[in-house]
Amino acid sequence: MKLVRFWGTRGSLPVALTTADVRAKVMAALRGASGRTFASEEELDSYVNALAPEVAGTYGGHTSCVEIETGRSEYVLCDLGSGVRPFGQRALARHGPSSPQTYHVFMSHLHWDHIMGFPFFTPAYIPGNRIRIYGVHEGLEEALRRQHGAPSFPVDFSALGADIEFVGLEAGATREVAGIAVTPMLQRHAGDSYGYRFAGDGRSFVYSTDSEHALFDLEETRRFVDFFRDADLVVFDAMYSLADAISVKADWGHSSNIVGVELCQMAGARELCLFHHEPVHGDAAIERVLAEARRFEEISRKGRPLKVTAAYDGMEIAL
């Protein structure tokens, strides 16, 4: 495994920047540039690079879709949120429509925000492509077929041209796919969700989204610490504040930045990446969640530092 690339990082529902959001960013950038001149494109580039992330960029709004670049020809993805549409466009632009590819997709669960991108995944319409969709849920195939049916979508699943197969997995059982050892683990979420640990080429990556952590359940905590153990990267559902996650939003199936830091510290993970961002949060709010997670990591650190990042659409993390 070489790197992880994020195509969709938002929880629950896709979001987009509004005109007011863009205007605020432009004004902040212009305010910072007041009185300055830029003699070259390089100087301008340097200025923009030095701007705060919430001014110069955005976390994006696609729902969950994460690519693992394996160094082999086959593609490996986690989830089919709306982020799979730009992923598919890029794959087509790279290979063209007449060069068949293989796509392996590991599904955390079947909630809408994790499957909604598949009808817009263009490679699924092209004969010759192979798509293997893996998951632990018994209703995996039905969920994906149903969203293609009327009245939800105009093109029936049976019209998809690619060779599509659904592959059932068993929690705790490791399977070799595209040169990677993949192990699913049951997580606490309405209707169940599954995290995945990927191991290959001496690297390990954990995808753990839509997962609530019952702080009183010590056995469950131990299971997660073992699952995250020494991982190079843990992508973690940090949708809510800790207070919300254990009070008004208890049993909603999501977690917090604080619990992510604690579990990764206990597990000795190298990097924690906050994921499944709350759709009501703008860029500044996510930036604050990230800054606070980093501060909490400093406060609670006992061993080696844990790197903390927050995923954005288009982000790449080398493993």
Partner 1 sequence: MDIAEHRIADVVVVAPVGPIDFPNAQHLERALAPLLGRDAAVQALVLDFHDVVYVSSMGLRVLMVAAKNLRARNARIAVAALQPVVVEIFDIARFAHVLEVFPTVRDAVAALSPSALAAWDASR
Interaction site with partner 1 (CB under 8 A): 215-216, 241-244, 246-247, 256-259, 262, 292-293, 295-296, 299-300
Q: Which residue has the tokens 């592959």?
A: 167
3-state SS, residue 221: helix
Residue 14 one-letter amino acid: P
Minimum separation from the CB atom of position 216 to partner 1 (A): 7
Task: Tell the smallest beta-carbon distance from residue 244 to partner 1 (Å).
Answer: 7
How many Å separate Cα 229 from the centre of its chain? 19
As given in the structure block, the two tokens for residue 165 are 């197969």
- The nearer residue to partner 1, 262 or 313, going by C-beta atoms, is 262
The whole-angstrom separation of Cα 112 and Cα 309 is 26
Q: Residue 213 phi/psi, 5° resolution?
A: -115, 115
Q: State the nearest-atom distance from the C-beta of 171 to partner 1, in Å.
A: 25
Nearer to partner 1, 99 or 247 (CB): 247
Q: Least CB distance from residue 141 to partner 1, whole Å? A: 38
- Neighbouring-strand partners of residue 158: none
Q: Considering beta carbons, is residue 140 or 258 the nearer one to partner 1?
A: 258
Residue with smaller CB distance to partner 1, 150 or 218: 218
Q: Most distant CA pair in the chain: distance in Å?
A: 62
CB 241 to partner 1: min, Å: 4
Q: Is 98 helix (H, G, I), strand (E, B) or coil?
A: coil
SS3 of 211, please? coil
Task: Compare residues 113 and 237 and give the one whose CB is closer to partner 1.
Answer: 237
